[in-house]
Amino acid sequence: MEEALRALLLASSGVTALAGKQVNFGSHPQGAGLPYVVLNTISDREGLTLRGPDGLQQARVQIDCYAESYGAAKQLSRAVRAVLHGHSGGGFRGVFLDGARDLREPGDDTGRPFRVSLDFLTIYSA
């Protein structure tokens, strides 16, 4: 799921026009610059029925869009949302936006990036 979700974002001209290839799971390479996207799996569980596993997984993925300004972070988050919200195919039964937050990284205002954080629910074949 992680590789497929990252590949979807990297295949989007809207996302790559803003962040280039800077779409990573877990962390962003130190010193690689802004803007960028970081994905983190928050939860991942197997689907179950009364007869046992149903062959599907459901995961919650947090996608953080970082940029030097609030406007740039928001624009990047809108590009991510346009690609993923409502997507199905390529092993995904559905990807749905579940929530969003606008944040500023803690610390003094000097050099701290802006962040828009999106939570997506993904249902996919295991």
Task: Report mean pLDDT in 10-residue bins for the chain, 126 residues.
Answer: 96 98 93 95 92 92 96 98 97 97 75 92 92
Q: Are 117 and 76 in contact (CB under 8 A)?
A: no
Q: In this predicted structure, what is the pLDDT of residue 86?
A: 98
Q: What is the DSSP letter of 69?
A: S
What per-residue confidence (pLDDT) applies to 53? 87
Q: Furthest-apart CA pair in the chain: how many Å? A: 56
Q: How many CB atoms lie within 10 A of CB 12?
A: 18
Please tell me the predicted confidence (pLDDT) of residue 103: 85
Q: What's the confidence (pLDDT) of residue 108?
A: 64
Tokens 């994905």 correspond to 39
Bridge-based pairing state of the strands 36-49 and 92-104: unpaired
Is 37 strand, coil or helix? Answer: strand
Which single residue is written with the structure tokens 């803003």? 18
Asked if residue 98 lies in contact with residue 81, where contact means CB atoms within 8 angstroms, the answer is no
Res 29: pLDDT: 87
> What pLDDT is recorded for position 107?
65
- Name the nearest CA neighbour of 109 among 71, 68, 75, 64: 68
Which pTM was predicted? Answer: 0.91
